Structure 1
Amino acid sequence: MSNIRTYIEDYLKNEGYKLQQFSEMADINVGTLSAIIKGTRLMSMNQLDQITSAMGLEQGYFYEMYGVECFIESVPHWRRLEPFLYRCAELGKLDIIQKVITHVTDDQSYIDELFDVAESLYNKSMNESALILYECVADSEKYQHSERLALCQYRIFLLHKTMSKFDNLNAAVKFEPYIDKLNEEVQLDAIKDLANVYMTIDLWDKVDAWARELERRTEFQLEMQSRRRKNKRRLTAYPLFTYAAYANLLISSVYGTRKEYDKAINYLQKYMKIIEIENPTEEDQNIIDLFKKWGEGINMYSE
């Protein structure tokens, strides 16, 4: 059965290269290269890429083979697996990630690290690769009430949103039970995103219910904020007043769809008061300007 080592040996033979020549081409120590070909030393991702380039092949040419040799047929080692996942993500080798991760998650010891890589990929907008990892971690999570599982489900919900009303409804319904298991600050973003999805599919009763829940939980967080130390790291995507204002904007939108315009105006006016902040930061001011723009809808209701 062919493996990467036999490919290298055949290449050297067919091209007539001595080991020393090829080691210089690949910029790998000749002793190290010899050990790799003999099978007494595993090659790193960097060495694999250097060898691939020296052979004139496209990057990632050997990744499927490398995944099988290093992580399926052999006991996986995180020091090799982590860079492998990142490189596969960079090159869009999603099928290879899926194949390797499905095997690796049989070992619960890698779940923490895989979650961290998923978060890193998510933050780098490598969404398709991140989704594979989140789904595998979620499927492998032993503790069904864990915050990590809830966060995986939140990310899966965000990444599964599409232009399809059916898909969005399905994603929202699956995610709802996990909201309470998230960190209390992160819950605000999750509820905001959930309400937005229900708004896109015109489920206004759901929008109303979650908007009021968002308002309630934001009030609690604002009260807690006054008791926290000033330098505590913020976990929400936006300043807390944003969520209070947005909850009222959503409720106003609900009343607008019901043609209850007096109530719609009341809630718009309420959120306009919320954004009256003394000495706003630059971030605060950008958000305030955005809400003021949305607030122009008052004129629509009052005409």
Structure 2
Amino acid sequence: MEQSAAIRCLRFEIHEQMKKYDYSLTKLSKLTGIHLGYLSETLNRRPPRPISINLLDTLAEAFHQPPGWLYELYPGECFPDEKVSRPRMIPFLMRCAELGRFELIASTASKLLENPKNIQILFYVAEQLFEKGQESESAHFYRLVVENERDSFHDRFTISQYRLFRASLGTNAEENKEAAVRFELYYNRLTEDFQLDALLQITNVYYTLENWKKVEKHADELRELAGKVYEDQLRKRFSTKPFEPLKTERHLVVYYGQGFLMKGIALTMQEQYEEAKKFVLEYSDLGWFEFLDEVGKKEVEKFRLYGKANLYNLELKRGNASILSEYVNFLEKNPSQLLPSILNIMESANRHNFPIDSVLERFCKQLPPSCSASIPVFETQLLYFWREKAIYNLKNGRRSCGIKDLLTALYLAEKMQYSSGLRKMILLMLYEVDSTNEQQEIQKVLEEMRSENKLYPPFSTI
């Protein structure tokens, strides 16, 4: 009874608009381009032909109504005889998401989930929105799946967890950490395709947090899984069965190489230089890798450059400053390696007390502005660079430059909501600052951050 009332009410509103504008069915057909017979069957036949969401949108435009007109009455069209109509339900939910009608999605989903099997419709809508690039809209449906799926090992549950994890990642370091911790319960339940992508993202999160043990753990998993998938792909290639390519975001060689790369970085940051070198050499030469199309060959070349830069870095970490001139020439020819490389140069200079003023003079102006970076890994590298540069200037008696560099690092830590990094910046400032003017300058910055929640613009110190 309630459903048929909703259907009558929906058509009643349409007829009222036709009266208001004095539209006959013939005139409405001409205005909308909808076949007259189709309109008649939809509005006048008993029982009527169901209304599609596209037709309702077209009628709304003809009646000069806003997008989403009468959507609150439309669910009655989606549940004929108390059964769900997928051809009408799915477009309706997608349009609701596109228009931000989440309260209507919630009420419709509640009725939809009276039959638990209908959770597959919510997952399908989520995936369709995701494929269209509407990630924030899809997240609403992935949450519904996670909250209502009874089987936590089902593919749609684990994929939904993965999509939500990816949607949670941004420039806020603490939120990224929380997202990674939540998702670590589920990533090993994913199919191998998704698991490769997931491990790469988790490893990157812990890299930005300087949690080298976690980076090492997940890099090992990534390397092992990529190797297994590679061997499986080789076997399938020569099998009589149809060969299906991987459905990953990146070329397989990326996951394999990144497993070695991240392992090498984690070992380097734990001062295990000899062990790290073994991994650097592994990803420096991946030309043997099968399945290398043009994209794969470009990725192999990137790893070759990473390896070259990181071999220089390992020498600098040991205190071998004699290779600095050669390293600088390498960076001149390969500016794509500049940011991580100059960070390593700064760290090594501070640890082993060798001068790099000429290097800073040569390259600092080529670094991205502190306010422009939006990729977490790049922001993290910039933060560490300005921190190390501040230490370098302070150690060499350039207090004014050092304090300004610290403020730039503080700005980045605040921008990233990186609480542990923020504490380190403030503690370093309190330790280094002694003059009244410097104290007043920093106090002003901290007061602005606290009272106005306003990011302090970085100083130009180059």
TM-score (norm 2): 0.59
> Any conservation in 1 of the 2:284–2:305 contact (CA below 8 Å)?
no
Q: Which runs of 5+ in 1 are unaligned?
A: none
Q: Distance in 1 between matches of 2:269 and 2:218?
A: 16
Deviations 1:54-93 (A, max 9, x none): 10123323333324x3347964311101221333344444
Residue 137 (structure 2) aligns with: 129
> Any conservation in 2 of the 1:121–1:127 contact (CA below 8 Å)?
yes
Question: Which of 176, 183, 200 matches 1:192?
Answer: 200
Deviations 1:67-120 (A, max 9, x none): 4x3347964311101221333344444443344234323322323343233222
Q: Which moved more, 1:134-143 or 1:282-291?
A: 134-143
Q: Distance in 2 between matches of 1:6 and 1:81?
A: 21
Between the two proteins, what is the percent identity of the paired residues?
28
Pick closer, same or farther for the CA change 1:21–1:79 going to 2, 3 Å. same
Residue 253 (structure 1) aligns with: 265
> Any conservation in 1 of the 2:212–2:270 contact (CA below 8 Å)?
no
Pick closer, same or farther for the CA change 1:129–1:106 going to 2, 3 Å. farther
Q: Which runs of 5+ in 2 are unaligned?
A: 317-462
Question: Which of 5, 9, 12 matches 1:6?
Answer: 12
Asked if 1:17 is matched to 2:23, the reply is yes
Pick closer, same or farther for the CA change 1:96–1:257 going to 2, 3 Å. farther
Shift of 1:31: 5.1
> Any conservation in 1 of the 2:284–2:306 contact (CA below 8 Å)?
no
Pick closer, same or farther for the CA change 1:220–1:202 going to 2, 3 Å. same
> Any conservation in 2 of the 1:241–1:275 contact (CA below 8 Å)?
no
Which is higher, the Rg of structure 1 or of structure 2?
2
What value does the CA root-mean-square deviation take over the aligned residues?
Answer: 2.8
> Any conservation in 1 of the 2:285–2:304 contact (CA below 8 Å)?
no
Q: Distance in 1 between matches of 2:189 and 2:64?
A: 50
Residue 169 (structure 2) aligns with: 161
Q: Distance in 1 between matches of 2:291 and 2:85?
A: 52
Residue 70 (structure 1) aligns with: 77
Pick closer, same or farther for the CA change 1:233–1:276 going to 2, 3 Å. closer
Shift of 1:151: 1.5
Shift of 1:302: 2.0
In the alignment, residue 302 of structure 1 is paired with which amino acid? E
In the alignment, residue 77 of structure 2 is paired with which amino acid? C
Residue 306 (structure 2) aligns with: 294
> Any conservation in 1 of the 2:51–2:77 contact (CA below 8 Å)?
no
Q: Distance in 1 between matches of 2:68 and 2:162?
A: 31
3-state SS, counterpart of residue 242 of structure 1: helix
Pick closer, same or farther for the CA change 1:118–1:238 going to 2, 3 Å. same
Deviations 1:216-240 (A, max 9, x none): 2222223323322352322333343
TM-score (norm 1): 0.86
> Any conservation in 2 of the 1:71–1:100 contact (CA below 8 Å)?
no
After TM superposition, list the pairs within 5 Å mapping 1:213-232 onto structure 2. Answer: 213-230=221-238, 231-232=243-244
Asked if 1:115 is matched to 2:123, the reply is yes
Q: Distance in 2 between matches of 1:142 and 1:198?
A: 30
Q: Which moved more, 1:52-61 or 1:234-243?
A: 234-243
Q: Distance in 1 between matches of 2:111 and 2:119?
A: 12
Shift of 1:130: 1.4
Q: Which moved more, 1:180-189 or 1:234-243?
A: 234-243
Pick closer, same or farther for the CA change 1:226–1:19 going to 2, 3 Å. closer
Task: Report how many aligned residue pairs link the two structures.
Answer: 302
> Any conservation in 2 of the 1:115–1:134 contact (CA below 8 Å)?
yes
Q: Distance in 1 between matches of 2:60 and 2:213?
A: 57
> Any conservation in 2 of the 1:94–1:129 contact (CA below 8 Å)?
no
Shift of 1:167: 2.0
Shift of 1:155: 1.2
